[in-house]
Amino acid sequence: MALAGIFLMLFLVSHLLTNLLMLAGDEGKAFDQAVELLGHPAVKIVEYILFAAFLVHILLGVLLQLINYNARPVKYKKAPRTEISTFSRYMFHTGVIILVFLVIHLINFFFVRLGWAPLPEYAEHSHDFRSMAVVLFQNPWYSGFYVVCMLFLGFHLKHAFQSAFQSLGLNHTKYTPAIKIIGTLYAIFISVGFAIIPVYFLFFYSS
Amino acid sequence: MQQLNSKIPEGPLADKWSRYKASLRLVSPANKKKLEIIVVGTGLAGASAASALGELGYKVKAFCFQDSPRRAHSVAAQGGINAAKNYKNDNDSIYRLFFDTIKGGDYRAREANVYRAAEVSNLVIDHYTALGVPFARDYGGALDTRSFGGVQVSRTFYAKGQTGQQCLLGAYSSLTRQIAKGTVKMFSRRDMLDLVIVEGKARGIITRNLVSGELERHSAHAVVLATGGYGTVFYLSTLGLGSNASAAWNAHKKGALFANPSFIQIHPTSIPVLNDYQCKLTLMSESLRNDGRVWVSKEKGDKRHPTEIPEEERDYYLERKYPAFGNLVPRDVASRAAKERCDAGYGAGDSGLSVYLDFKDAIDAHGKKAIQDKYGNLFEMYEKITGINPYNQPMRIYPAGHYTMGGLWVDYNLMTTIPGLFAIGESNFSDHGANRLGANSLMQCSGDGYFILPNTIGDYLADEIRTGKIPTDQQPFKEAEKGVEEKIQKFMAIGGRKSASSFHKRLGKIMWDHCGMRRDAEGLQKGKELLNELEEEFWKDLRIPGNDREINQELEKAFKVADFFEVGRLMCEDAIQREESCGAHFREEHQTETGEAKRDDKNFAYVAAWEYKGHREKPDMHKEPLRFEHVEIKERSYK
Amino acid sequence: MNVTLKIWRQKNAQAKGKFKTYPLQDVSPEMSVLEMLDYLNMQLIEKGDAPVAFEHDCREGICGTCGLYINGRPHGPMRNTTTCELHMRAFKDGEIIYIEPWRARAFPVLKDLIVDRSSFERIMHTAGFISINTGSAPEANSTPVSKIIADKAFDAAVCIGCGACVAACKNSSAMLYAAAKIAQYAMIPQGKVEAKERVDKMVRQMDAEGFGFCSNTYGCEFDCPKGISVDFIALMNREFFSSKVCKQKHK
């Protein structure tokens, strides 16, 4: 769970950095170059690992949730008041939201590239993610949905980051407080970073 | 009745145990596998004995009434565990630990047993350390010790204020290991309700499964009782609420002599009674008296807030009466002094039954931080219970029943007068005389269980290798079970109005008033009569709801309370015959001009071992004379 | 003060339980919660009703027997406090107090507020000990242990085995309980010898007992009456991974 999660967190960083290239002001040249790299065999291998990581993370998440739910067949009648952080309480819920998002996200972009979904007429070719993004994000409903999902992704990551360290036993009186702060910054960076893109295309971009 | 034979070996004191051990018979490993031993109780003594016997290869069955062996009341011991390691280079030795224990016990303990307990104390510390017990250490990594309970050396090993917990968890871990190996079979949530004797030998027990309510028969070649003391006879005590006398009492009724029942230690520093429904007194470690000053108002019935009572109107009575030891006088002396002040009307609080323990001077002298470092957890505990912050105003304390020095009479082998029935730890009488020194109970329990009993029991079992498995369908088992069943039905049939606890509470009050810290012949007689009256009411007016084939906590209590009437009477009987004051036993008739205990070594240097003669029948007393060959008997003085 | 109690009543392990309401008058704020229940039981017995079954023993917060889920929290609203140490002054006059048993698959209810915690025992039975026979211990000071480590081991060793960590955890996980013992032994030289086998066996048994998995919500630490830190869970995880990676196969 934690290992897959860490891999996914690394992926998110690279994904975000690539996406941010769309805002580079060069009409997407840098971004397109980055997308070109996706065809590289090494990246292909990483892509398979990424798929595996997603699969493991999701399946384990569901499995653990089932086991955990079953570990208390009779629930408390009085709602629990043990103070735990909201982020940690709703990890599964935020996870499910992210999964829904992921599916839509894949249909919109990744499946197009694979040719599983029809190429939209506004895209030049199956790698023209930027055009796809521009059109999709100019729909306020889509952008709104995207931003909200990124918010939940942030919630998920806020707990996930330090939790991964704890699960792997990487705990230290000196460094753990720093890890927690870095985790929060990371979560903000990822969620805000991704959310900027639709906001930009919705409000500040004219082709 | 046979003559009491304590089997104390001849020879020089220091060699008695090693020579005796060498003379004991052994059981071969092949035969050990065929021999079964029942151990009742899983406190420090029981858990250590069961695990040590399991390691030796015996088939052990261990019993406890709790859901887990780890919950036995040894867990609550706070201060520490003594050993004669002399790690502080303060000239401590086995002899000195022996001497302090004999003296602290007011010369009413057996020399040979006490010396042996001191001798094995060092092994106990080695063993617990190896078991991973986190004793306090100093910066060099060696074990730390502290001075405790009014002795002049630092021989007390400790783990903050939770030494009992840590030692018990150590013993529990070794027991757990044997359970995992299959040498010990653990029966938890079982109450032992009778002892089974076959042809004069202890052969088994009858237990009630506290979940299903079923009665069960268990057989073995020897039975070991490690069932603790009977301090809950006072109802309000520092003991766990489940602690009881019943196992030992069942054994007593079946022929085991009960020694010195009136020797009960009253601990001076417990939190006083705060409400009518209280059933437990929480101990505040004795160590608090190192820095706290004990006082009451000089004015009778002073209801002022303690911080409003000016210095000159305070009576620091311990410092006044015992200038040499001051607030650090031994437990019995401190307890009696507190009671004396309260009885005279100077007590603090609404009930007038408490005295102040004040840290103001210590805080002024050393700073709050220093006091916090030393007693932080105790102060927190006090605040949790009372809601009062002891950094700002004095604590209130009062004596409470704590430890029973008396118990089943045992010989040097720790065997009772019933062949095959052994008693270890607090349930026997042997090591503490009339008063126990602080941190000696953990030492004795562990020593008995790990290092003494496993040797001596082999000598008895050497004769049992041809016995074979003991069937439980024999007549004595059937009879014992029938007796228990009848008693259960008798309880259930009373159909009165009052709960067992309400009787226990009244019983405790009778014992506290008439057989507590200060006793006199008249009061003791009166106590016996009151017990009789209450007992009659109990058998008429007890109510046990529910049925007996389910979890029924009221039925469990009824068994205990029924036995306490008898225990209480025997305590009074013992206190009446002992026409002297010694240790925890203080007879008004026998005091010095200044009100101190007056011992009578000429006439009372003996162990009073009582034989049961039937319900309400006068018990027979057997005397085991105590000989002191290695210490000079002296009067205790703390002036 | 007066309070209204809503207490879980369940005849036995098979029966379906439900809340019963008991108004209780003249409760002293000086009473502990358990004394308040004694007071209720005395009234119930005198009325001829079945008293509420609950477990307790030392009543000073060290034996770990008592454990009630009070108003949505194990051991009630005060931190670092066991049920027996919790006093009625922590509640308001007229307050409704809900009292439930610990709830977890691995802690089946036996009656009313009593649960069966033998799953905890079985975890210990696998390896919750240091394998040393009586008599074979070396001299106590022959193995120095740094004071810092010894103190830390003590902080883990204070677990009273009450089960509040499981009761507090939204996943009913027993990680804090197992971790406290594993960490105590893993830190000191005496326990290091078997550390790898220990963590492996204990974790496996914990899973087999039907406890949930840890999702690092740290509710256990929040409600542990002894304040045991989740740092020990991290230490256990570290031990667990290193045992998986490093443990050699026995031939």
pLDDT at B3: 76
Tell which A residues from 45 to 74 touch C, by Cβ distance under 8 Å. Answer: 64, 67-68, 70-74
Whether C157 sits inside 8 A of B276 (CB atoms) is no
Residue A31 amino acid letter: F
Tokens representing C25 are: 């008058």
Q: What's the average model confidence in pLDDT over C176-199?
A: 97
- Express as a percent the part of chain C with pLDDT over 90: 96
Whether pLDDT at B440 is above 80: yes
Domain ranges of chain B: 268-401, 478-614
Whether pLDDT at B149 is above 80: no
Rounded to a whole number of angstroms, the distance from the CA of C170 to the nearest CA of chain B is: 25
Q: CB of C35 within 8 Å of any CB in chain B?
A: yes
Whether C106 sits inside 8 A of A71 (CB atoms) is yes
Asked if B87 and B145 touch (Cβ cutoff 8 Å), the reply is yes
Whether residue C251 lies inside any domain: the answer is no
How many domains, chain C?
2
Q: What's the average model confidence in pLDDT over B412-429?
A: 98
pLDDT at B594: 83
Q: What's the average model confidence in pLDDT over C187-204?
A: 96
Domain ranges of chain A: 2-204
Average pLDDT over chain C, rounded to whole?
96
Whether B141 sits inside 8 A of C145 (CB atoms) is yes
Of C111, C138, C153, which residue constitutes the final position of a domain?
A: C111
Give the span between the Cα atoms of C171 and A72, in whole angstroms.
Answer: 7
pLDDT at A207: 62
Claim to verify: residue C103 and residue C136 sit in the same structural domain: no
Q: What's the average model confidence in pLDDT over C243-250?
A: 77
pLDDT tens across B491-507, in order?
A: 999 999 999 999 999 99
Whether residue C129 lies inside any domain: the answer is yes
Q: CB of C12 within 8 Å of any CB in chain B?
A: yes
Counting as contact any 3 or more CB pairs under 8 A, the partners of A are: C
Whether B331 is catalytic is yes
CATH number for the domain that contains residue C215: 1.10.1060.10
Question: Angle between the C118-127 and C175-187 helix axes, to the nearest 10 degrees?
Answer: 30
Q: CB of A42 within 8 Å of any CB in chain C?
A: no
pLDDT at B78: 87
Q: Name which of C141, C70, C148 is nearest C102 in CA terms.
A: C70
pLDDT at B333: 87
Tokens representing B622 are: 């057997």
The architecture CATH gives domain B478-614: Up-down Bundle (1.20)
Asked if B73 and C58 touch (Cβ cutoff 8 Å), the reply is yes
pLDDT at B634: 84
Whether B384 sits inside 8 A of C140 (CB atoms) is no
Of C60, C82, C111, which residue constitutes the final position of a domain?
A: C111
Give the span between the Cα atoms of B438 and B142, in whole angstroms.
Answer: 23
pLDDT tens across B572-598, in order?
A: 999 999 999 999 999 999 999 888 889
Provide CB contacts within 8 A for B599, sequence distance 6+.
Answer: B106, B107, B580, B581, B582, B635
Q: What's the average model confidence in pLDDT over B542-550?
A: 96
Residues of C in contact with A165 (CB under 8 A): 234
Whether C231 sits inside 8 A of A78 (CB atoms) is no
Q: What's the average model confidence in pLDDT over C200-208?
A: 96
Whether pLDDT at B617 is above 80: yes
Other CB atoms closer than 10 Å to residue A32's CB: what's the count? 16
Q: Which of B331, B518, B519, B599 is catalytic?
A: B331
E strand residue ranges, C25-95: 69-70, 73-74
Backbone angles phi, psi at C151, to 5 degrees: -65, -40
Claim to verify: residue C125 and residue C239 sit in the same structural domain: yes
Whether pLDDT at B2 is above 60: no
- pLDDT tier at B376, thresholds 50, 70, 90: confident
Whether C141 sits inside 8 A of B142 (CB atoms) is yes
Other CB atoms closer than 10 Å to residue B398's CB: what's the count? 25
Site from C1, C62, C118 to mutate, B interface, most B CB atoms within 10 angstroms? C62
Q: Edge-to-edge strands of the sheet including C73-74? A: C18-24, C3-9, C96-100, C69-70, C73-74
Q: CB of B29 within 8 Å of any CB in chain C?
A: no
pLDDT at A119: 84
Kindly report which listed range (A36-45, B393-402, B511-520) carries the lowest average pLDDT score.
A36-45
Claim to verify: residue C80 and residue C180 sit in the same structural domain: no
CATH topology of domain B268-401: Flavocytochrome C3; Chain A, domain 1 (3.90.700)
The answer to whether B and A touch (≥3 CB pairs < 8 Å) is no
- pLDDT tier at C212, thresholds 50, 70, 90: very high
Average pLDDT over chain B, rounded to whole?
95
Tell me what percent of chain C is helix, strand and coil, each rounded to the nearest 5.
Answer: 40, 15, 45
Closest to C105 (Cβ–Cβ): which among A71, A78, A169?
A: A71
Q: Name which of B638, B608, B610, B639 is nearest B626 in CA terms.
A: B608
Going from the C-alpha of C248 to that of each of B9, B280, C189, C194, the distances in angstroms are 53, 52, 20, 13
Q: What's the average model confidence in pLDDT over B192-209?
A: 98
pLDDT tens across A144-187, in order?
A: 999 999 999 999 999 999 999 999 999 888 899 999 999 999 99
Provide CB contacts within 8 A for B350, sequence distance 6+.
Answer: B303
pLDDT at A114: 82
Helices (runs of H) and strands (runs of E) counted in chain B = 18, 20
B vs C, Cβ pairs < 8 A, gives 224
Q: What's the average model confidence in pLDDT over B181-202?
A: 98
Give the span between the Cα atoms of B519 and B512, in whole angstroms.
Answer: 10
pLDDT at B596: 86
Q: What's the average model confidence in pLDDT over C28-45?
A: 96
Q: CB of C43 within 8 Å of any CB in chain A?
A: no
pLDDT tens across C121-159, in order?
A: 999 999 999 999 999 999 999 999 999 999 999 999 999
Q: What's the average model confidence in pLDDT over C53-73?
A: 96
pLDDT tens across B30-63, in order?
A: 999 999 999 999 999 999 999 999 999 999 999 9
- Express as a percent the part of chain B with pLDDT over 90: 90
Whether pLDDT at B112 is above 60: yes
* Number of residues that this document lists for chain A: 207
Going from the C-alpha of C149 to that of each of A90, C144, C178, the distances in angstroms are 36, 11, 19
pLDDT at A99: 96
Whether C57 sits inside 8 A of B73 (CB atoms) is yes
Higher-confidence residue of A107 and C221: namely C221
Structural domain harbouring C63: 3-111
CATH number for the domain that contains residue C82: 3.10.20.30
DSSP structural state of residue A24: S
Tokens representing B112 are: 């040979």
Q: CB of A170 within 8 Å of any CB in chain C?
A: yes
Whether pLDDT at B360 is above 80: yes
Q: Name which of B263, B550, B571 is nearest B433 in CA terms.
A: B263
Q: Identify the residue whose tokens are 């329990």.
A: B445
Whether B501 sits inside 8 A of C38 (CB atoms) is yes
The string of DSSP letters for B42-67 reads -SHHHHHHHHHHHHHT-EEEEE-SSS
pLDDT at A25: 80
Claim to verify: residue C130 and residue C161 sit in the same structural domain: yes
pLDDT at A204: 87
Residues of B in contact with C137 (CB under 8 A): 123, 126-127, 129-131
pLDDT at A125: 83
Whether pLDDT at A15 is above 90: yes
- pLDDT tier at C33, thresholds 50, 70, 90: very high
Give the span between the Cα atoms of B271 and B348, in whole angstroms.
Answer: 12
Whether pLDDT at C177 is above 90: yes
Among chain A residues, the shortest Cα distance to C75 is held by A82
Whether pLDDT at A75 is above 70: yes
Strands B355-358 and B293-297: antiparallel
